[in-house]
Amino acid sequence: MEWHVTDAESLMIIDQEVGKHELSPAEYEVVRRVIYATADFEYLKLIRFSNEALQAGAAALAARTTIVVDEPMVQVGIALAIQNTFSNPIYCSSEAVTRPQKDKTRSAWGLETLAQRYPEAIFVIGQSQTALSSLVRLILEREVAPALVIATPAGFVDVVKAKQDLADSMVPHIRTEGRKGGPAVAAAVLDSLLDLAWHAYVRASGAEHPSKSTTL
């Protein structure tokens, strides 16, 4: 994202209130973006990273890997950042064309359809509990091998178990612990990861983009 002075002031306030922490610099950048998007400091303790999640996600973004999201709110939240960096293709599961299915939600059925087409995609699940459950089942059955999963849906029914099953898998992922989350959290996570990946790409290749600020 491009930064205004008020954004910098807000991030400075977050840094002051957070104080000392045990996160790596890159992990903290993701968490502070989530706090900035939600004004909720509890995410300092709720965001979880699997081993090598940030590295795997940055590499996949730089390789222009397809991104599959669960709901339009997530897609809208990341579209501009994607456009201004690596221009990865984005598909939304709830808008995917599928055959009628009574036993699953449209988001879950669309997720399974897109997962068959893009089994190694970056999956961003910010709202749909059923889409996350479907994705985790496909992972456990070894039908898909995502480059990265961002899982932040809020909810009460099965969402905690789905997040725990994701945590127990070997798939690189960033998730929220417990019931809290939402589309804004998912978008903030991916947006921060995009900035980190783009900054590294620019430094390594000397590439430039006129509309992208990488100074945080």
Count other C-beta atoms under 10 Å from residue 17's C-beta: 10
Which CATH number goes with the domain that contains 163? 3.40.50.10230
At 97-133, the pLDDT tens digits run 666 566 778 888 899 999 999 999 999 999 999 999 9
Residue 214 placed within a domain: no
* Contacts for 180 with CB less than 8 Å, ≥ 6 apart: 40, 42, 43, 46, 154
Residue 156 placed within a domain: yes
Residue 121 placed within a domain: yes
**Average pLDDT of every residue of the chain:** 90
Residue 122 placed within a domain: yes
| Cα dihedral sign, 41-42-44-48 | negative
Classify 143 as helix, strand or coil: coil
Structural domain of 103: 5-205
Residue 213 placed within a domain: no
Q: What is the pTM of this model?
A: 0.90
Structural domain count, the chain: 1
At 31-76, the pLDDT tens digits run 999 999 999 999 999 999 999 999 999 999 999 999 999 999 999 9
Q: What percentage of the chain reaches a pLDDT higher than 90?
A: 77
Residue 39 placed within a domain: yes
Residue 215 placed within a domain: no
Are 171 and 116 in contact, with CB atoms under 8 Å apart? no
Count other C-beta atoms under 10 Å from residue 188's C-beta: 28
Burial class (CB in 10 A: 0-12, 13-18, 19+), 103: exposed
